[in-house]
Structure 1
Amino acid sequence: MHPSRIPALALAADLVAVVVFAAVGRISHAEADSLIGLAGTALPFLIGAAVAWATPWVRASPASLQAGFVVLALTAGIGFLLRLGFLGRLPLSFAVVAVVSLAVLLLGWRGLSGTVARLRGPREPSHG
């Protein structure tokens, strides 16, 4: 894979992870399966992910676990603050499940990616 593609793929993976988190949460609560509802659930966390991606820590090495922890912290933290502001409540049980779910999704793909990269070993750059 060409190194210049890694940031775009990492960003896409993070955004998909947040949307999957929101979709699974809505399904588990038997909420209406509308795109507007999904967007409303995901949006606070997508904003948090966007803020994380604006930091130099994530942009410097977006597929690293360190970047994953920054994305996790800001996605969850900002998402919770926005949900609290809009809904006026943030149940502890939701916060715990959300952090664990987001950690599995946002750190999980990075861990798998790092493992695959180590197993494949160093590659010579292609010329062509």
Structure 2
Amino acid sequence: MRNGVAGLLDVCCVLVFIAIGRATHEEAAGLAGYAATVWPFLVGVGAGWVVSRAWRRPEALVPAGVAVWVTTVAGGMALRALSGEGTAAAFVIVAGVFLGSTLLGWRLAARLAGVRTASRQG
């Protein structure tokens, strides 16, 4: 899998998470509010790629997927706290579950698709 596609999938997971959360809590639909909520998690995704060197094997569940997931949640929450935004326990749990499901989920799907393709060829 190409790095650009994998990176885009990770970014999309974060963008969807924030969009769903803001819609669920009926927060203003403005771009400024969305950007203020999403930036810490996008920085977290980037940090996860650096920490895990995900560009080597971006589709790998371990170490790339787990590192990107943990760094996205932990880094995002740390940056939110530093910028004066909320980090309620329920929010941390929901972020962890949703981002874990999506950031690891697409990698698992790619792995399964790769296994199926390889078994058909062999």
Question: Is the shorter-chain TM-score for this pair beyond 0.5, marking a shared fold?
Answer: yes
Q: Contact 1:22–1:41 (CA<8 Å) still a contact in 2?
A: yes
Q: Which runs of structure 1 show a deviation greater than 4 angstroms over 4 or more consecutive aligned residues? A: none
Structure 2 unaligned regions, length at least 5: none
Q: Does 1:30 align with 2:34?
A: no
- Summarize the alignment of residues 44-63 of structure 1 with structure 2, pairs less than 5 Å apart: 44-63=40-59
Task: State the shift of 1:122 in Å.
Answer: 6.5
- Summarize the alignment of residues 1-128 of structure 1 with structure 2, pairs less than 5 Å apart: 6-66=2-62, 67-87=64-84, 89-121=86-118
Question: In 1, distance between residues paired with 2:25 and 2:115?
Answer: 39
Identity %: 33
Question: In 2, distance between residues paired with 1:43 and 1:23?
Answer: 12
Q: What is the TM-score of this pair, normalised by structure 2?
A: 0.90
Larger radius of gyration: 1
Task: State the shift of 1:43 in Å.
Answer: 0.3
What's the secondary structure of 2:54's corresponding residue? Answer: helix
Task: State the shift of 1:90 in Å.
Answer: 1.6
What's the secondary structure of 2:87's corresponding residue? Answer: coil
Question: In 1, distance between residues paired with 2:27 and 2:117?
Answer: 42
Task: State the shift of 1:87 in Å.
Answer: 2.1
| Alignment: residue pair count | 120
Task: State the shift of 1:39 in Å.
Answer: 1.2
Q: What is the TM-score of this pair, normalised by structure 1?
A: 0.86
Question: In 1, distance between residues paired with 2:31 and 2:68?
Answer: 24
What's the secondary structure of 1:59's corresponding residue? Answer: coil
Q: Contact 1:83–1:90 (CA<8 Å) still a contact in 2?
A: yes
Q: Which amino acid aligns with 2:109?
A: L
Question: In 1, distance between residues paired with 2:27 and 2:82?
Answer: 21
Q: Please list the CA deviations of residues 50-106 of structure 1 after superposition, one character each: whole Å capped at 9, or x if unmatched.
A: 111123541221111011100001111110001111125421011001100101110
Q: Superposition RMSD on alpha carbons, in Å? A: 1.7
